[in-house]
C-alpha cells in the first residue's frame, strides 16, 4: 500500500511539474500576444493617420483640379474674345484703309521679305543702296498707314479690347499652370502617403498573424495546463482514497484486536479471575461493563 501511494505521489509530482511548465509557457506566450497586439494597434493607428492625411491631400488636389478647370474655362473664354477682337481689328483696318491702297499685311510681308534679302544676299553697293532705299520707303509708308489707323477711334478701341483680352487669357493661363503644378504636387504627396499606409498595413497584418499564432499557442498551453491540473486532482483523490481505506482497515483491525482482548478478559472475569484496573477499562471501553 505504501509503495502504491509513493508511486502515485511521484506521478502526481510529475503532472504538477508539467502543469507548472505549461503555465509558464502560457504566460510567456500571453506576454508575446499582448506585444503583438500592441504592435498591431500602433501600426494600424499610423495607417489611419496616413490615410487621413492622404485623404486631406486628395481633397486639396480635387479642389485645385476644380480651380484648374475653372481657370481653363476662363482662359478659353478670353482666348475666344481675343480672337473675336483680333478679327474685328483686322476687319476695321480693312474697312478704314483707302479703297485703292495696298493692305497693311501685304506691305508688312513685303517689308519682311526685303529685310531678309538684305541680310542674306550678296550684292553690289548700288543694288544694296537701292534695296535700303526701298526698305526705308516701305517702312515709312507702313508707319504712316499705322498712324492713320491709330487715329481711328474704332480701331483703337478694338485694339485695346484685343490687348486686354490677350492679357486676361495669359493671366488665366498662368493660373492654370500654377494650379496644375500644385494639384500634381498634392497628387504625388497623396500617392506617397497611400504607399506608406500600404506598407504599414502589411506590417500590421503580419503582426495580426503573429498575434493569432501566439494566442492559439497560449490557448493550447492553457488547455494542457488545465489537463495536467485535472490529473493532479485525480491523483490527489486516488491517494486520499487509498489513505482513507488504509486508515479504515487499521481501525477495523484495531477494533477486532480490542474486541478479542475484551472477550478474553471477560472470560477470565467469568471464571472468577481477579482483573486489573487496565482490564476493567478495556471491558468498559468494549461495552462489557
pLDDT, mean of residues 264-269: 72
Q: Is residue 85 a contact partner of residue 158, using CB atoms and an 8 Å limit?
A: yes
For residue 145, pLDDT over 60 is answered with yes
- Which pLDDT tens digit goes with each residue over 186-203? 999 999 999 999 999 999
pLDDT, mean of residues 99-115: 73
Q: Is residue 186 a contact partner of residue 64, using CB atoms and an 8 Å limit?
A: yes
**Cα(188)–Cα(184) distance, rounded to whole angstroms?**
6
- Which pLDDT tens digit goes with each residue over 65-82? 999 999 999 999 999 999
Q: pTM (2 decimals)?
A: 0.58
For residue 156, pLDDT over 80 is answered with no
Lowest model confidence (mean pLDDT) among 74-78, 190-194, 207-211, 265-269: 265-269
pLDDT band at 254 (very low <50, low <70, confident <90, very high): low
Q: Which of 104, 81, 106, 100 is nearest to 92 (CA)?
A: 104
Lowest model confidence (mean pLDDT) among 11-20, 37-46, 73-82, 95-104: 95-104
- Average pLDDT of the chain, as a whole number: 85
Q: How far is CA 40 from CA 78, 115, 141, 207, 276, in A?
A: 56, 78, 85, 5, 88
* Residue listed under C-alpha cell 491631400: 57
For residue 96, pLDDT over 90 is answered with no
Amino acid at each position: 500500500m505504501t509503495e502504491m501511494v509513493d508511486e502515485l505521489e511521484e506521478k502526481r509530482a510529475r503532472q504538477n511539474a508539467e502543469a507548472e511548465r505549461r503555465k509558464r509557457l502560457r504566460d510567456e506566450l500571453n506576454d508575446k500576444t499582448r506585444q503583438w497586439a500592441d504592435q498591431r494597434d500602433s501600426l494600424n493607428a499610423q495607417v489611419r493617420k496616413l490615410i487621413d492625411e492622404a485623404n486631406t491631400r486628395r481633397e486639396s488636389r480635387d479642389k485645385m483640379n476644380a480651380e484648374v478647370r475653372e481657370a481653363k474655362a476662363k482662359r478659353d473664354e478670353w482666348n475666344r474674345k481675343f480672337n473675336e477682337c483680333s478679327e474685328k481689328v483686322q476687319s476695321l483696318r480693312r474697312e478704314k484703309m483707302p479703297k485703292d491702297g495696298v493692305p497693311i499685311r501685304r506691305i508688312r510681308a513685303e517689308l519682311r521679305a526685303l529685310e531678309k534679302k538684305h541680310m542674306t544676299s550678296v550684292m553690289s553697293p548700288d543694288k544694296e543702296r537701292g534695296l535700303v532705299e526701298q526698305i526705308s520707303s516701305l517702312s515709312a509708308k507702313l508707319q504712316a498707314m499705322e498712324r492713320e489707323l491709330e487715329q481711328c477711334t474704332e480701331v483703337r478701341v478694338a485694339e485695346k479690347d484685343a490687348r486686354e483680352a490677350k492679357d486676361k487669357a495669359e493671366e488665366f493661363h498662368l493660373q492654370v499652370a500654377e494650379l496644375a503644378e500644385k494639384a500634381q504636387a498634392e497628387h504625388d504627396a497623396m500617392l506617397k502617403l497611400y504607399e506608406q499606409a500600404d506598407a504599414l498595413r502589411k506590417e500590421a497584418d503580419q503582426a495580426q498573424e503573429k498575434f493569432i499564432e501566439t494566442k492559439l499557442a497560449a490557448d493550447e498551453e492553457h488547455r494542457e495546463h488545465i489537463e495536467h491540473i485535472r490529473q493532479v486532482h485525480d491523483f490527489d483523490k486516488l491517494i486520499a482514497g487509498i489513505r482513507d481505506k488504509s486508515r479504515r482497515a487499521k481501525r477495523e483491525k484495531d477494533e477486532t484486536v480490542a474486541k478479542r482482548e475484551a472477550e478474553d478478559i471477560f472470560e477470565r472475569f467469568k471464571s472468577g479471575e481477579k482483573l486489573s484496573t487496565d482490564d476493567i477499562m478495556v471491558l468498559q471501553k468494549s461495552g462489557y461493563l
